[in-house]
Chain A
Amino acid sequence: MKFKVTGSILLLLAVVIFSCQNDGQIEFNRYYSGGSAIYLAHCANCHGNKGEGLQALIPPLTDSAYLKKNKNVLACFLKNGLKEKISINNKTFESEMPADSLAPIEIAKVLTYVTNSFGNKLGTINLQQVQDDMAKCR
């Protein structure tokens, strides 16, 4: 009996907390969980399941400062690939990243996933933002 009561209280509490999530949080969760599947299908082979990269060949995705600084060009990197030398965690990487044929919404989701995983915390990168960024691709 005691357990039943505790159980119902916990359940009620969970429902309350869940419904307290604001719209922003719901959008974030939607982008993030969708992004995780896209990451595994399109990115994880090279960048690793934990964003660890591969030695000096493939950069890790753990450099929060770099991601923050380049937040507005990340969408272009995914759309057009990346050929230029970059410095990640103070190491130089120069191998080419091939372009991938992801839709803008998929780019938004996977960027939200990457920039909020592996120790990063940059918040949601939504579709509108990705479209704005992509209009300015070099």
Chain B
Amino acid sequence: MRKLILGVILLSVLNACSNKQSKLPILGNREPVTNTVDGKSVVDTAYATIPDFKFVNQYGDTITQKSLEGKIYVADFFFTTCPSICPVMHRNMLNVYKEFKADDNFRIISHTIDPKYDTVPILKRYADKMGLSGNNWWLLHGDKGSTYTIAKSYLQTVQEKNPAGQYIHDGFFILIDKQKRIRGTYEGTDPKEVDKLIADIKILKAEPEQAVTK
């Protein structure tokens, strides 16, 4: 009996070790599509992807889906005068930025949800004060409609100002792969979740599908 218990424990320990996640899930809506391959129809799964967009970054450069081709990226929504969760989010995002600063196939994009105040020069000043340089972390300006629309495809909700004059928005960091699919969402205000994001980016980078450069 004792040997049996020992065996079970040993087995579960070994199992726990081999259970290390080597592939991230694909999130969002999915639907079956029928493709024709070699004259035969094959049913495949189509995953939700981030649609094309056009925004301007803190340097005044136009950023579209094309600018992110062949790159894994993390997206979030914020505004520079946000007194509540944004400082926490970006204090944590700074760790992600530092970890992958040398990787040109990685980007962070932060959409402002207050484009009226957060003009390009204001975003540049914010970037400077955050100590951001180069192109690894873009702060994106766009009209309110396009920003609020793109938020939905990242499974995020943003709203107009509430009676207290504050914007309501989710504090999530969203991980997108090179096929523009959502691979993870992380509570940006929680340092532990952000540590997991950093670990997950490493897992994602190692997936064979992510080896493509274009």
Determine if B83 is an interface residue (Cβ-Cβ < 8 Å). Answer: yes
How far apart sit A54 and B81, CA to CA, in the bound complex (Å)? 13
Choose the segment among B27-35, B63-71, B85-93 that binds chain A (4+ C-beta atoms closer than 8 Å): B85-93
Contact A48 B91 (CB under 8 A): yes
Determine if B84 is an interface residue (Cβ-Cβ < 8 Å). Answer: yes
Contact A54 B90 (CB under 8 A): yes
Determine if A57 is an interface residue (Cβ-Cβ < 8 Å). Answer: yes
Give B210 Cβ to nearest chain A Cβ, in Å. Answer: 31
Query: What is the size category of the interface that chain A forms with chain B?
Result: 10 to 19
Across-interface contacts of B94 in A (CB, < 8 A): 55
Across-interface contacts of B128 in A (CB, < 8 A): 56
Give B110 Cβ to nearest chain A Cβ, in Å. Answer: 14
Across-interface contacts of A45 in B (CB, < 8 A): 83-85, 87-88
Query: Looking at chain A's contact residues, is the secondary structure mostly helix, strand, loop, or mixed?
Result: loop
Give A53 Cβ to nearest chain B Cβ, in Å. Answer: 9
Interface string of A34-64 (1 = CB under 8 A from B): 0000000000011010000011111000000
Give B27 Cβ to nearest chain A Cβ, in Å. Answer: 28
Q: Which of the listed residues B84, B87, B128 has the most CB atoms from chain A within 10 Å of its own CB?
A: B87
Across-interface contacts of B90 in A (CB, < 8 A): 54
Query: Looking at chain B's contact residues, is the secondary structure mostly helix, strand, loop, or mixed?
Result: helix
Query: What is the size category of the interface that chain B forms with chain A?
Result: 10 to 19
How far apart sit A48 and B91, CA to CA, in the bound complex (Å)? 9
Contact A54 B87 (CB under 8 A): yes
Give A50 Cβ to nearest chain B Cβ, in Å. Answer: 11
Known: A45-B88, A48-B91. A57 touches B83 (CB 8 A): no
Chosen A-B contacts, 28 in total, with CB atoms closer than 8 Å, are A45-B83, A45-B84, A45-B85, A45-B87, A45-B88, A46-B83, A46-B87, A48-B91, A54-B87, A54-B90, A54-B91, A54-B130, A55-B94, A55-B129, A55-B130, A55-B131, A56-B128, A56-B129, A56-B130, A56-B131, A57-B87, A57-B126, A57-B129, A57-B130, A58-B87, A95-B129, A96-B81, A98-B83
| In the complex, the 3 A-B pairs of residues with the closest C-beta atoms, listed nearest first | A56-B129, A46-B87, A57-B129
Where the two chains meet, the residues of B that have a C-beta atom closer than 8 Å to any C-beta of A are: 81, 83-85, 87-88, 90-91, 94, 126, 128-131
Where the two chains meet, the residues of A that have a C-beta atom closer than 8 Å to any C-beta of B are: 45-46, 48, 54-58, 95-96, 98
